[in-house]
Every structure is written in structure tokens, then in C-alpha cells.
Amino acid sequence: MGAERGESSATFDLLAPPRAHSGKDLPGSGAQPDEVQPGGEVRHEDAARRDHARDLHLDQIVSAITRDDGALEEWFFTRTRDVATVRHRHDVFRDLEDPGVWAALRELCASLREVVTHLSQARAMRVVYQRQAWTLDAAAIYCDAVRELTKELAGAALRSRGLQDFRRYLEAYAASEAFERLEAETAECKAALAGVSYSVQIDGGRVTVRRTAGEADYSGEIQAVFERFRQGAVRSYRMNYRVWPGMTRVGEQILGLVARLFPDELSLLGAHFERHGGFLDPGVHRFYRELQFYVSYREHIDPVRAAGLAFCYPEVDAQSKEELAEDTFDLSLASMLLAEGAMVVTNDFRLDRDERIFIVSGPNQGGKTTFARTFGQLHHLAAIGVPVPGRRARIFLCDRIFTHFEREEDLSTLTGKLETDVAEMQRTLRDATPRSVVIMNEVFSSTSLEDARFLGTEAMRRLVDLDCLAVYVTFIDELASLAPSVVSMISTIVPEDPATRTFKVVRGPANGLAYARSLAEKYRLTYPQLLERIS
């Protein structure tokens, strides 16, 4: 039956409008792109460029969302510069805001996940009758899911092109002769097997199987008796073991005897398997795989939204670099803090007209690195078409994200940390374009202040000339006045208690004391620390 519908599976696309993206290029269906350029052009990034996922904690976010589903991960690591594709995905997410649509599609995902699991396990079963029965059960779950979703979507006020197209596809499929035959024959076979009733008598090493002949079935009575002892949800002390749903040799022999007692029913099961073993329609399966992109992300951010943090559909632009974000935050950090019952601090930023680069300075542990990660996360999330953290956002669709975060020295490379920093920065400046985003966090920190100032200034001048977007977290305050395109941001403290950080990063002139204060704290030379040491 899958072959009958295969040609129709390209009549809808949840991940991109048809003109921009072909179904055959989707991750998980053959190609594995890292970026999708305008017009659907795919470009692969080398493995080194995936460093930005680790630096920005995107790897943690994606792992939590996808639960290590490799094909699904590809979609979350695939960026686009096509504005129409991003808006297409926003429209699907907006449709999911309807509680009825959301409930129906979540239920479909749960049902088809069960179907796929059944079929996967059935393929590994060596007992023919069991493999056929598991396939039959999967077909029954599948038919119910298709029929129920068809009914739920029929009256839904869908606005997205992707879901509207799929609804038409699903209605045609559910009304097709092939599906109606699958549904009817599955129900017929299930009903026939439900009438199979037998008893097993074990006498030493001898096992006898016979049809039941009016014997009383005590299973219902036993269950009812023990039901009275249930006292609500109680702690279970039973140990759970992973049990393979296969069949022992004894069970296989008993099943063989049952087949001899009920030849018509088991023949019907075999005929069903022959006709409908490949019942899963390619279009429905593809919809299920693509739908998981939306459902898994929505399930991940719902608890964060429930805690009072905002998500929005960002305005995106592939040309203008004027940006803003209001009440934004690091999604990875927010998930962790909320799990611990801690408060999440949000921040704002904006880049007007010709502004391109943030220089972020201030005391240690003041939220500077978190601000840099947030900036990078926003650009990645905006470019995969999902709601982003914040009450409002306008984001430029970049082509690449380059990150330089302080790391432990790698002794296997036989190069010093400074040499590694310089080499990585050279590669970035060579590969970056005016459409790139560069994020630097405490680079060149392994050398003297004078050398760090020289290297930082040279890197900044190249970035200014390149006209790309950048964030540079540094103690070298004077870099904030290097060019008109550079904006100074500072992490703030509580005025009455300078040792207390607010974790707010705001526009403001660098005060020139950040580096000195940091050094004093590092070497325990602040006034309170000196008094403590003397006493």
C-alpha cells in the first residue's frame, strides 16, 4: 500500500514552502545538510564549526529536545537564510497554539511512535505468528490514529500552508480504497483472533492445548478481588527488568498447537500480513517525522513558559543587521535554573543602524558569558524557525556562527594556549563573511595585558572592516571606543553592595576598572580580602 501512495508524499512540506525546499533534501531522508541557503542550496559545515554548538550550549539544548534522535538532531542543527522558510515554520507553530490542534497532533505522535516501535520489534521476531500479530496490532493503532486525526483536523482553523496541505493529503488518503480496505481487514482479523480461546494443561513434561469448552474464566474475578486492595498511588518496591517481547521455545510450541486448533483464524492473520505488511504510508510517516520537530521543541519550552518566561516569533531579515531582543535569556541555563527552583534574569539588547559589535565588560561572574551565549543561541534558533526566548526580537539571518570560548590547554597538540587562540582567530577571520556572527569570550587571556590588548585590537579592526555581527567579552575596556559600530555593554552590580551581581547586562560606557577589579579578586587583594587575611 505504501507504493500506491509514495508519489503523493511530496504534496505537503512542514519544514519549508515547496518553492524553497524539496522533500528529497530533508535531513533524515538521505541528505544530511548543516545549512540550507536561499533557494534550497545545501552547504555542509566541517566538524570544527560544530564547536559553536558546544560553546553556546546548543548541544545540551538539542540533546534535551531530541533525546538523541539522530535524524531529528539534524533539523535542529540546520540553519536557513531563507526568510520564507522561517515564516513557514512560524505559521505551523502558531497553529499548534490551538489547544485542539496541539492535543490531536501530540496524540498522533504518541500513536505513530508506538506503531514504529511495534514494527521495529516485529521485524526482529523469529516466530512467524508473533511477527504477524505484532504487525496486526500496529496496523490497528495506525488506522485508529489516522481516522481520529482526520476527524480532529476537519474542523480546525488552520492557517499554515504545511498543515493545510497535509490535511488535504490526509483526507484523500483516509477516503482511499486502499486505506479503507486496510481498516476493514484489520478490524476483521482482530475480531477473529479475539474469539480464539484455549486452555493449557501441564502434567509434568507433557503439555496439552485444547479449545475451551465453556469453562469458567476466573481472570476477571481474580482481578476484581485484588482491585479492592488498591489504595491509590503507592510506592512500588518491585524491581523492573528489561524484558524482550520475544517468545521462549515452550511458548513457540504452544503457539504451534494453537495454530492447529484455530487454522482459519491464523490463516486470516497470515493473509493480512501478506497484503498489509507494509501498511505504513510514506506520506503519513514523513509527516510524523517532520511533526516531531515542532512537537519536541514545543514540549521543551512549555515548562519554561509556564514559569513566566516569554517566547516570541522573531522578525527575521537576511539583509538588515539592525537587531533587538527584549527580556531574552539563555535557554539552556533557564531550564537548569528552573529545575532547581532558582530565578532567571532576562536581558535586552539592540543594534541600531550601523552598529555591529558588542564589547561586554564588567566584573567576573556577572553574566557576561551568559549574555554572549544568549546572543549566539538567538541567532541559531531564529535561523531554524522556532520561537526564541524573549518578549520581542528582531534577528538577522546569518550564514555562519563562529565562537571562541576559553578552553583548557590541549597538551596533545604540542602548541601553547595563546598559539591555539591566534590560529583559531586567523581561521575565523579568513572564513567569516559580512553575513556571519562571531562570538569571542575571554580570548587571549593566557598572555599579558599588553599583548592581549594588541591582539584584541587587531582582531576587532578586522571584524569592523568585515562588517559582521560580533560579541566580544573582554576586560580590555578601551576596545569599546574603537569604532562607531562598536557598542559598550557592561554587567552591573548592586550599587550598595559592589560584590553582589545583578546579572543584568546593559548599555553603558566601560568604566576602566573591570580588569583591575577582576585581578584584585583573583589574587585576593581587594580591601575586604586583605583585612580578612591580616586578621
3-state helix, strand, coil in the chain (%, to 5): 55, 15, 30
What pLDDT score was predicted for residue 475? Answer: 83
Q: Which residues are registered as beta bridge partners of 326?
A: 392
What pLDDT score was predicted for residue 56? Answer: 94
For residue 139, what is its C-alpha cell?
496496523
pLDDT tens-digit profile of 219-262?
777 888 887 776 665 555 454 444 456 678 888 888 888 889 99
What pLDDT score was predicted for residue 415? Answer: 57
Grid coordinates 533524515 are at which residue? Answer: 28
What pLDDT score was predicted for residue 529? Answer: 81
- Pair 193, 204: CB distance under 8 Å: no
What pLDDT score was predicted for residue 518? Answer: 56
The fold of 311-534 is Rossmann fold (3.40.50)
What pLDDT score was predicted for residue 37? Answer: 38
CA 527 – CA 152 distance, rounded (Å): 68
Helices and strands in the chain: count of H runs, count of E runs: 19, 17
What pLDDT score was predicted for residue 33? Answer: 32
- Pair 333, 446: CB distance under 8 Å: no
- Pair 12, 287: CB distance under 8 Å: yes
CA 146 – CA 534 distance, rounded (Å): 76
CA 14 – CA 284 distance, rounded (Å): 12
Where in the chain do CATH 3.40.50.300 domains reside? 311-534
- Pair 403, 436: CB distance under 8 Å: no
What pLDDT score was predicted for residue 7? Answer: 41
What pLDDT score was predicted for residue 476? Answer: 82
pLDDT tens-digit profile of 283-320?
999 999 999 999 999 999 999 999 999 999 999 999 99
Contacts by residues 416-421 (CB-CB < 8 Å, ≥ 24 positions apart): 416/446, 417/446, 418/444, 418/446, 418/447, 418/451, 421/446
CA 293 – CA 492 distance, rounded (Å): 38
pLDDT tens-digit profile of 489-510?
988 876 656 666 788 998 888 7
For residue 400, what is its C-alpha cell?
555562519
Ranges under pLDDT 50 in the chain: 1-10, 21-44, 46-49, 237, 239-243, 411, 414, 515
What pLDDT score was predicted for residue 477? Answer: 79
pLDDT tens-digit profile of 165-220?
999 999 999 999 999 999 999 999 999 999 998 888 888 878 888 888 877 777 77
